[in-house]
Amino acid sequence: MSHQFTQYRELLNSSMGHAVDYLESLPERPIDKQIGSDELRSRLGGPLPQTPSDAKLVIDELAENIEQGLIGSGGPRYFGYAIGGSFPVSLAADWLVSAWDQNVPYYVSSPATSVAEETAAEWLLELLGLPHTAGVGFTSGAQEAIYTALITARNALLKRAGWDVAKKGLYDAPRINVVVSDQIHSTIKRALWMIGMGECDIKTIPTDKNLRIIPDAISDVLAQCDGPTLVCAQAGCIDSGAYDPFEELSACVSRHPNAWLHVDGAIGLWSAASEKQKPMLKGIEKADSWDTDGHKWFNMPYDSGVVIVRDASLLAEAMGGNSMGAYLTDAIAKPDRNAINFGIAASRRARGVPVYAAIKALGRQGIEDHLDTCCDLARRMADRLRNVDGITILNDVVSNRFSAQFGKGDDEFRNVLTARIVHRLQQEGFCYPSTSGYKGLKTMLFSVLNCHTTVADIDASAEKIIEAYHIELEKIDAACASAVI
């Protein structure tokens, strides 16, 4: 079976037609079509193909069958978890990345995409107000970025304590204290497990009603930490959007003889690009490392993440630069950027190119408008809901997300009612919030991340949420009345 370069045009044109049809359907299609896994298996499964099939027919059938089971998370009324849409320019750039099919960890394997990523990294640092000499790596997402940053932190902290991880490994290494918020995200825990730092060494700092670290508690917890100490803070708590007190955190970390401050900014680090929002992040530039997602608030196609480390040489060393000779020099000094020194992947696509395209097309002002609009829309929804008797917004809406509970009465009643309302909304498919937890309470988590969401989407979704609240409350009240009779 021969493959010709002339085959690409017909197949890619077919793919583009299906893709555009799907994208243009997002404003109207149900977010979740509620198709079961058995039906999907009947459409997509079957015995291993033994002979070639017509490639265009495969593409057409794939598009038809896969589309049935997709969640419309790129649509304007998807408000669950922390999933953004895609800027059109970034999706278009990502298609080019697939067509170019470049492997980018080394400058010599793709000079142009290396320079594009280098430029995107420089623009990101300026946009976010972080040190211009920091090392920047493009990762699969915040989880990989956290993993990369904490490996760097671990190695640097142990090096200061006289222990070389590259030569000695971790056997008999000094133990590292870990200090986190009591609202630590699961991705931080996963990264700690992966790099050999268990929960026994974790100390937590309490948070206030908005899930923000209480500043007065920071110094007391750090005073308990002798030896190497890793401190992890949040820029944009998953359930409240709150920002930890970075000024106080960085001041305490700087007074410690051997400590490292990492900021998990998977969602909220982007607030640093907004003049309105960045005062809430004061002091964040003093941290030692940061992570963020592109495919959340910055609306990159999946997958897209960024790791940033203040001392680029420490990042390069942790990623193997100390055993690669001249690569360490090349990683830090221009003109050549070898991306393998800024991340764990030895092979990857040019993830930084869609980031480059978005910054180039939107500019600082366009990015700032997107960020501020999402926050305005989240506040609008919260205001609509809190004016309804029995709906409680649990946090101050400081960014693009909030948590809500429904009903009056004890925790169990409100937890059950809230879960039923969110489940109803997801099944109806018009808008899609998700459930979460807020200091032990079952909540509706509402996030505005998508560049396509409008005021009309918010107002229509508010009506649907309020309607679902009244329906489910009435059903519970009727069930309770029936039980009494």
User: Can you give the pLDDT at residue 212?
Assistant: 97
Is pLDDT of 335 > 80? Answer: no
Q: What was the pLDDT predicted at 106?
A: 86
Asked if the model's pLDDT at residue 324 lies above 90, the reply is: no
Kindly tell me if the per-residue pLDDT of 325 is higher than 60: no
Quote the pLDDT of residue 266.
97
Long-range Cβ contact pairs of 9-18 (< 8 A, separation 24 or more):
10/56, 11/55, 11/56, 11/59, 12/99, 14/56, 14/59, 14/60, 15/59, 15/63, 18/59, 18/60, 18/63, 18/67
Letter for the amino acid at 375? C
pLDDT at position 477: 77
Strand partners, 112: none
- 102, burial (CB in 10 Å: exposed 0-12, middle 13-18, buried 19+): middle
Task: Give the alpha-carbon dihedral of 272, 274, 277, 280, to 10 degrees.
Answer: 20
Residue-wise pLDDT for 409-466, tens only, equals 999 999 999 999 999 999 999 999 999 999 999 999 999 999 999 999 999 999 999 9
Ordered DSSP codes for 135-146? EEEEESSHHHHH
Q: At 403, phi and psi to the nearest 5?
A: -115, 140
Question: Residue 25: its pLDDT value, please?
Answer: 97
For the whole prediction, is pTM greater than 0.85?
yes
pLDDT, tens digit (0-9, with 9 covering 90-100), for 392-422: 999 999 999 999 999 999 999 999 999 999 9
**pLDDT on residue 108:** 86
Task: Tell me whether the omega of the peptide bond preceding residue 105 falls within 30 degrees of 0, making it cis.
Answer: no
Q: Is the pLDDT score of 307 beyond 60?
A: yes
**Residue 365 belongs to what H/E stretch?**
helix 352-386
Place of tokens 């085959």: 7
Q: What is the pLDDT of residues 263-302, one digit of tens each?
A: 999 999 999 999 999 999 999 999 999 999 999 999 999 9
Pure H helices in 68-185: 88-100, 111-128, 142-160, 165-168
